[in-house]
Structure 1
Amino acid sequence: GRIWEVVKMDTPATTPTTPAAPTVAAFKQPSGAHDAYKQGDRVTYKGATWESTINANVWSPDAYPQGWKRI
């Protein structure tokens, strides 16, 4: 008969994982103060990432550019 040999592949015991980049949610028009963006909140809007520069931000970067910083 034949003799089969088990060949162990070179695989690391633990695969190093890179920390997942924080996901930035798409801009969603707030309906009021309860879901307005806070200073430092980040959104994606029209292909770019934006950070709110004010609290109680209910405007889009188009509607109120002063309230957003493109990052």
Structure 2
Amino acid sequence: GVLFQNDYIDTLKIARKLLHEDLKRYRLKDLADHYHIDYSHAHRAVNDCEITHIVYEMMMEDIFNNFGT
């Protein structure tokens, strides 16, 4: 998930609704692969946070492109 000023956004819930036709699993690696994000430096706290943030931004872009604001 992503934390924004004490608000927690669950990227897993978003991914399940948004990508249910494209993915069977929703691990961070699966989401990074789907969005062609480098996952080679994962499993370090800062890197996982950066990957999660990029995944979140990509999902929001998909939502806006597919459903509007």
Looking at both structures, which has the greater relative contact order when contacts are Cα pairs under 8 Å and sequence separation is at least 6? 2
Structure holding more helix per residue: 2
Q: TM-score range by the shorter chain?
A: under 0.3
With the length of structure 1 as denominator, give the TM-score of the two structures: 0.20
The higher radius of gyration belongs to 1
Give me the TM-score of the superposition, normalised by structure 2: 0.20
